[in-house]
């Protein structure tokens, strides 16, 4: 966990940030320093290069990430990117360095691929979270989330259970469902056995989400896991499909006798909370906690 005076690293391993994000990122650095007394180190791969959507080549992004892992003064690494390109860096990561460094990686959306690859290769945990929420519309609320999670080591997420099956504690894998499925067929995909699978999405209406769920089923995920955490499915919910998405997961729960926990506190919204990846959580009918 972080304490005052610690140093955090910031990088973009997926699509680079645009030039118009410069002021927002400068404000983020200011908030980290003034509100949390943290020092900040930026990787060289933050902003898009020239006409490219990338902050650097896949190799360059991986090298910058490895530099942050190798710095003894950096206690935690936050990736503030998202988009599509995170899986490009996977072949260039040194998982021995990551394993020995024992520092959490934090990111969301497309960074699902790196979070799960790190867990698969090193058993190191991380967090599903976007640090830029600290300077978003709900900045005051997010600062409270940040302090509770990263300084006090308390994860408390509210929701509701969608069926009557009983939960067992287990380690969380997954994240963004589209990006998680990029790992299918690779040696970076976690073993589903006795895991709790977190699934959320930004884009995708019912048909697309049903296809993602079907692919996970065909991979054997639901016959091996302990249960499913259903986060926000933003586009579908905005399209009036909240109940239909709930039924989609309820069908999986019935078929495989899995508990299904649904929460609006994990996902892409500006008030979303951090959630552990690669660490044990306890799920009840109304809460998900790490204590």
Where are the chain's structural domains? 7-151, 156-289
282-291 tens-digit pLDDT: 999 999 999 9
pLDDT of residue 50: 87
Task: Look at the block and give the residue holding tokens 């509770």.
Answer: 148
Q: Residues of 269-284 as b/e, b for ≥16 C-beta within 10 angstroms?
A: beebbbbbbbbebebe
pLDDT tens digits for range 107-138: 999 999 999 999 999 999 999 999 999 999 99
pLDDT at residue number 76: 99
Report the pLDDT value the prediction gives residue 187, as an integer from 0 to 100: 99
Q: Hey, what are 122's tokens?
A: 């090193």
Per CATH, the homologous superfamily of domain 156-289 is LD-carboxypeptidase A C-terminal domain-like (3.50.30.60)
Which residue bears the tokens 């983020």?
28
109 is catalytic: yes
Please pick, among 64, 200, 237, 241, the residue that the annotation labels catalytic: 200
Q: Three-state SS for 89?
A: helix
Q: Percent of the chain beyond pLDDT 70? A: 100
Catalytic residue among 14, 55, 81, 109: 109
Q: Give the DSSP letter string of 217-261.
A: HHTTHHHH-SEEEEEEEHHHHHTT-HHHHHHHHHHHHHHHT--EE
Closest CA to 43 of 5, 70, 23, 20: 70
Helix (DSSP H) and strand (DSSP E) numbers for the chain: 10, 14
Q: What is the pTM of this model?
A: 0.97
User: pLDDT digits over 10-69, tens only?
Assistant: 999 999 999 999 999 999 999 999 999 999 999 999 999 988 999 999 999 999 999 999
CA distances, 110 to each of 85, 90, 115, 156 (Å): 7, 12, 9, 23
Q: Is 265 a catalytic residue?
A: no
Mean pLDDT, the chain, rounded, equals 98
Q: Is the dihedral of CA 63, 69, 72, 74 positive or negative?
A: positive
Is residue 268 annotated as part of the catalytic site, yes or no? yes
Q: Which CATH architecture has domain 7-151?
A: 3-Layer(aba) Sandwich (3.40)
């Amino acid at each position: 966990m972080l304490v005052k005076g610690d140093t955090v690293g910031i990088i973009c391993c997926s699509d680079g940030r645009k030039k118009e994000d410069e002021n927002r990122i400068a404000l983020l650095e200011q908030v980290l320093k003034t509100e949390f007394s943290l020092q900040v180190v930026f990787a060289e791969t933050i902003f898009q290069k020239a006409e490219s959507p990338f902050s650097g080549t896949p190799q360059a992004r991986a090298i910058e990430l490895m530099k942050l892992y190798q710095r003894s003064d950096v206690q935690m690494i936050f990736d503030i990117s998202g988009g599509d390109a995170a899986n490009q860096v996977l072949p260039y990561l040194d998982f021995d360095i990551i394993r020995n460094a024992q520092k959490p990686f934090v990111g969301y959306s497309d960074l699902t691929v790196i979070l799960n690859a790190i867990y698969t290769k090193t058993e190191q945990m991380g967090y599903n979270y976007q640090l830029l929420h600290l300077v978003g519309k709900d900045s005051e609320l997010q600062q409270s989330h940040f302090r509770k999670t990263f300084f006090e080591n308390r994860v408390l997420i509210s929701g509701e259970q969608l069926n009557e099956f009983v939960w067992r504690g287990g380690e969380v894998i997954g994240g963004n469902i589209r990006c998680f499925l990029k790992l299918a067929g690779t040696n970076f995909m976690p073993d589903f056995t006795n895991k709790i699978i977190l699934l959320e999405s930004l884009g995708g209406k019912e048909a697309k989400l049903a296809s993602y769920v079907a692919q996970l089923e065909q991979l054997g995920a639901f016959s091996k896991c302990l249960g499913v955490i259903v986060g926000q499915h933003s586009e579908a919910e905005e399209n009036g499909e909240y109940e239909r998405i709930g039924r989609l997961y309820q069908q999986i729960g019935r078929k495989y006798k899995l508990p299904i926990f649904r929460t609006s506190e994990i996902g892409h919204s500006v008030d979303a909370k951090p959630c552990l990846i690669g660490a044990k959580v306890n799920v009840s009918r109304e809460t998900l906690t790490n204590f």
